[in-house]
Chains A and B, each alone.
Chain A
Amino acid sequence: MSTDAQAIHHESFIVNLGPQHPATHGVLRIKLTMDGEYILDAEPIIGYGHRMHEKMGENRAYAKFLPNTGRMDYVAALFNGHGYVCAVERLAGLTVPERAEYIRVITCELNRVASHLLWLGAFLVDLGGFTPLLYCFDDREKILDLLESVTGARLTFCYFRFGGVCNDIDDTFVNGTRDFVKLLRSRMPLYHDFVSTNIIFRKRCEGIGLLSADTCRRYGATGPVLRGSGVAYDVRKQEPYSIYPKLDFKIPVYPECDCMARYRVRVDEIVESLRIIEQALDQLPAGPVMAPKVPKILKPAKGDCYFNVESARGSFGIRIVSDGSENAYRLKLRSPCFSNMSLFQEASRGMLLADALALLGSLDLVIPDMDR
């Protein structure tokens, strides 16, 4: 025991939340300086899952980096792949057949639904309610089955190729997806009854974890976090890519800035994604799924480009600098979780431990995506 009178007077203490802690969903460590249950300072210490994907991107051919993309944000792995292939296609000037674009959007939106469902379950576990997790997993499992039937993987997808996708979808997938859309739509009222109207859940979310739009902007937080702060910023609308301009969908925005707003944004996004999937399935054209004559070894011309996709967690960006060789000269991966997490230190100051963990859960972090 310390006899330092000064230390006793302050009565603040340091708690290491993590790297192994039930609320951090991975190897994230937060060094909390606490005064009782109030947080004086919360310093995230990240990098436990750092694998230097950017260096790997520099010392292998473009196509060989494709599997890596599925291992960053493994909960919504298709978006990383989508961003990467689109960036390389932009740099190499490849065009993608329309059917392939549709398939990309359908699978990506399925992945978004799966990711949001997982988040919903995990968030409720953070708040101490375990039951919804298993309902979410039950529905998510059906998505993973669908995606497995076409991509061959359940989690770390490597499905997109430069100039298309590697497998065509068949009627089984199309019909299965249609059935799933109907099923999940019929399940949404259940989630609503079970979660949104639950008095304890609302008490724990409403007015908790306020993040102003300006805070989000200065920290670069995007995705549902930013949209839960009342800013209608979505890459799919602001910088339309793929076939999104042809589809009719809304961007859910809630101005309350609290955990409840972020929850509502994500639940509404599930519904919007289902609409996107349905429209895309209706419009699905016939044709090839790979561009003809994509060179085996790509050597894009000198130059650089940036490409952003709207991942389930926010704006996922890739900057590729090419020197004309078969490897990228520089590959920058802009992960949404990294930016979303960086605001935690400021936002959690003065909060109670339990509320800070609600805020942490509402940011929807995937640690390997943050650490890359």
Chain B
Amino acid sequence: MYSLGDIVRLLLYLVGLIGFGAFNAAYLSLLERKQSAWMQLRRGPTEVGPWGLIQPVADGLKLLSKQILLPRDVNVPLFLLAPIMVVVPAIVSLVTIPFSETLVAHRYNLGLLMIFSFGAINIFALLIAGWASANKYASIGAVRVVAQNIAYEVPMLLVVIALVMVTSSFDLVEIVKQQGGGCWHWNLLKLGANPMMPASFLIFFICMLAETNRAPFDMVEAESELIAGAFTEYSGMGFGLFFIAEYVNILIGCSLATILFLGGWDCPFGLFPGPHWFLIKMYALCFTVVWVRWSFPRTQFYGLLNLSWKILIPLALVNLLLTAVMLKLVP
């Protein structure tokens, strides 16, 4: 049973995590704008605050002050429910993310499973958003998101299952602890357990891009085909919540990649481990996500599905099999 102290601690963490999520969503969007500007010979936001640092606040205020338009044919309850449904699981998933051994809101021995189950709600939210919008572009976007996320959840879970077989734990803190003591202990380089570990990290990263609907897999939005896909009819904070959820999902995806493969809060050379290392690794991955987005055009839809069903899933299955064989052979 939980004591009062536990509950207060959890609530404080929850407030902190909402703040953390919101702050990151805001400043990841600024990072995205600044980084894309930097890649594109531009300067990005410069007007609001020094180097445009207050820009996200201005964006947020603008979104908050805009009217939430309800087009005539939308299914109002579902239309309003969808943005909430997309942002709540994203925030809740942060609860089990360990920033360090002690800095974790709720250590849960099935933490990994919990994040995936909450992540799956995302699909329903986008499907509801697309369907409730009563817009053809939104419907196409919604149909795409289901096909895409199901296709990419399979290889992602296969990779994670192989990893869990190695670590024999769903507990994120435990998984990180096993990787402690320098980068040669990280799962990424645990070639003794499975020589395909770097490949499985790559599969995980690609699937993470696809699951968060980021370019080059941004089929849901696909602005040059579907205008804004499932979000076409949303305005103001309705759209803002999808926006926040997208960045929080990137945050969770990068955190998971850090925890599962890059040793979490562990220092690469075995000195001074701590949450700062976790944040450095996570933001480096976030940076890569943005980098990929502004370097590649969008894939075709069938190219996207082919990549998953014909390349990633077979690879992940081989990876799984190899892990099982290695576990039997190498005690």
**Cβ-based interface call for B301 (8 A):** yes
Give Cα distance in the complex from A135 to B39, angstroms: 10
Q: Name the residue on A nearest B139 (C-beta).
A: A13
Task: Decide if A135 touches B298 in the complex (CB within 8 Å).
Answer: no
By a CB distance below 8 angstroms, the chain A residues around B42 are: 134
Bound CA span A23–B227, Å = 9
A197 within 8 A of B: no
- Asked whether any CB of chain B lies closer than 8 Å to the CB of A287, the reply is no
Does the CB pair A204–B300 fall under 8 Å? yes
The DSSP consensus for interface residues of chain B is loop
Does A126 make an interface contact (CB < 8 A)? yes
A127 to B301 CA separation, bound complex (whole angstroms): 12
Which of A128, A134, A135, A201 has a CB less than 8 Å from the CB of B224? A128
Interfacial chain A residues near B41, Cβ < 8 Å: 134-135, 138
CA distance A113 to B100 in the complex (A): 56
Report chain A residues within 8 Å CB of B140: 37, 353
Contact of B225 with A200 in the complex, beta carbons under 8 Å: no
Given A15-B136, A200-B216, A129:B222 Cβ within 8 A: no
- Of all chain A residues, the one with the shortest Cβ separation from B134 is A1
A244 CB to nearest chain B CB (Å): 35
Let me know if A203 and B299 touch, CB within 8 A. Answer: yes
Cβ-defined contact, A131 with B39, below 8 A: yes
The yes or no answer to B24 lying at the interface (CB within 8 A) is no
**Binary contact track B48-91/A, C-beta < 8 Å → 1, others 0:** 00000000000000000000000000000000000000000000
Chain B residues 182-217 with CB under 8 Å of chain A are 215-216
Closest to A358 in B: B300
Contact string, B283-301, partner A, CB cutoff 8 A, digits 1/0? 0000000000011111111
Q: A13-B136, A22-B224 are in contact. Are A127 and B36 (CB under 8 A)?
A: no
A352-B296 Cα distance, complex, nearest whole Å: 20
A225 CB to nearest B CB, Å: 20
User: What number of B residues sit within 8 Å (CB to CB) of A?
Assistant: 27
Bound-state CA distance A131–B140 (Å) is 26
A23 lies within 8 A of B224 (CB):
yes
> Contacting A352 at CB < 8 Å: which of B227, B295, B302?
B302
How many chain A residues touch B (CB < 8 A): the figure is 29
Task: State how many angstroms separate the Cβ of A10 from the closest Cβ of chain B.
Answer: 15
Residues of B within 8 Å of A6, CB to CB, are: none
Q: Is A204's CB under 8 angstroms from B137's CB?
A: no
Residue on A nearest B136 in the bound complex, by CB: A15
A residues near B302, Cβ cutoff 8 Å: 352
- Name the interface residues of A176-215: CB closer than 8 Å to any CB of B: 198, 200-201, 203-204
- CB-CB under 8 A from B225, the residues of chain A are 23, 353-354, 357
In the complex, whether B102 has a CB less than 8 A from a CB of chain A is no
Specify which of A23, A129, A203 is in contact with B300 (CB 8 Å cutoff).
Answer: A203
Q: What is the CB-to-nearest-CB distance from A27 to chain B, in angstroms, rounded to a whole number?
A: 15
- Greatest chain B CB density within 10 A among A21, A125, A128, A203 is at A128
Among B216, B218, B297, contact of A124 (Cβ-Cβ < 8 Å) = B297
Q: Within residues 209 to 240 of chain B, which ones have a CB less than 8 A from any CB in chain A?
A: 215-216, 218, 222-225, 227
Is B303 in contact with chain A by the CB < 8 A criterion?
yes
Contacting pair B301 A128 (CB below 8 A): no
Distance (whole angstroms) from the CB of A188 to the closest CB of chain B = 17
B130 to chain A, nearest CB (A): 14
Top 4 A-B pairs ranked by shortest CB distance?
Answer: A128-B298, A129-B297, A127-B297, A134-B40
Show the binding face of A for B, using Cβ within 8 Å. 13, 15, 21-23, 36-37, 124-131, 133-135, 138, 198, 200-201, 203-204, 352-355, 357
Please give the residue numbers on chain B whose beta carbons come within 8 Å of chain A beta carbons, in ascending order: 36, 39-42, 136-137, 140, 143, 215-216, 218, 222-225, 227, 294-303
